[in-house]
Amino acid sequence: MTRTATHCPYCALQCGQWVDGSGAVDGREFPTNRGGLCQKGWTSGALLGHPERLTTPLLRPSRSDPLAPVGWDVALGHVADRIRALQAEHGPDAVAVFGAGGLTNEKAYLLGKFARVGLRTSQIDYNGRFCMSSAAAAGNRAFGVDRGMPFPVTDLDDAEVVLLAGANVAETMPPLMGHLTGARLVVVDPRRTPTAERAVAAGGLHLQPVPGTDLVLALGLLHAAVVDGLLDADYLDERTTGFDEAWRLAAQWWPERAERVCGVPAADMRTVVAWLAGARRRYVLTARGAEQHAHGVDTVSAWINLALALGLPGRPGSGFGTVTGQGNGQGGREHGQKSDQLPGYRSITDPAARAHVAGVWGVDPDDLPGPGRSATELLAALGRPDGPKALLVFGSNVLVSAPHAGAVAERLAALDLLVVADVLPGETAMAADVVLPVAQWAEEEGTMTNLEGRVLRRRRALRPPPGVRTDLEVVSGLAERLGVGGFPAEPEAVFDELRAASAGGTADYAGISYARLDAGEALHWPCPDEAHPGTPRLFTERFGHADGRARLVPVDHTPSAELPDAAHPLRATTGRVLVHYQSGAQTRRVAELSAVVPESFVEVHPDTAARAGLVDGEWARVVSRRGAAQARVRCVPSLRPDTVFLPFHFGAGQAANLVTNPVLDPISRMPEFKVCAVRLEPLAGSA
Q: For residue range 424-482, what is the model confidence (pLDDT) as tens digits?
A: 999 999 999 999 999 999 999 999 999 999 999 999 999 999 999 999 999 999 999 99
Tell me how far apart the alpha carbons of residues 476 and 480 are, in angstroms, rounded to a whole number.
6
**Spatial distance between the Cα atoms of 661 and 74, rounded to a whole number of angstroms:** 40
pLDDT at 63: 85
pTM, to two decimals:
0.96
**Domain 133-322, what architecture?**
3-Layer(aba) Sandwich (3.40)
Do 28 and 149 contact (CB within 8 A), yes or no? Answer: no
Fold of the domain spanning 58-131+328-524: Rossmann fold (3.40.50)
Q: What one-character DSSP code corresponds to residue 438?
A: B
Q: State the pLDDT at residue 325.
A: 83
pLDDT lower than 70: segments of the chain: 1, 685-687
Preceding peptide of 466 cis, ω within 30°: no
Taking Cα atoms as reference points, which of 186, 184, 185, 182 lies closest to residue 158?
A: 182
E runs forming strands in 479-529: 523-524
Strand partners, 125: 98
| CATH no. of 570-682 | 2.40.40.20
User: Which residues lie below 8 Å from residue 566, measured CB to CB, with a gap of 6+?
Assistant: none
Distance, CA of 67 to CA of 59 (rounded, Å): 5
Domain residue extents for the chain: 58-131+328-524, 133-322, 570-682
Q: What is the pLDDT of residue 687?
A: 45
* Side chain identity, residue 494: V
Strands (E), 166-300: 184-188, 205-207, 240-241, 282-286
Query: Got the DSSP string for 326-376?
Result: STTTTGGGTSS-STTEETTTEETT-HHHHHHHHHHHTS-GGGS------HH
How many whole angstroms separate alpha carbon 200 and alpha carbon 124? 44
Count of positions (residues) in the chain: 687
3-state SS of 648-671?
CCCCHHHCHHHCCEEEECCCCCCE
Tally of CB atoms within 10 A around 617 = 10
Q: What are phi and psi for residue 34, nearest 5 degrees?
A: 50, 40
The predicted structure's pLDDT at residue 685? 57
pLDDT in tens, 413-435: 999 999 999 999 999 999 999 99
Q: How far, in Å, CA of 590 to CA of 45, rounded?
A: 9
CA distance 380 to 371: 17
**Is the distance from CB of 391 to CB of 415 less than 8 angstroms?**
yes
Contact 594, 661 (CB under 8 A): no
Sheet holding 25-27, edge to edge: 3-7, 16-20, 25-27
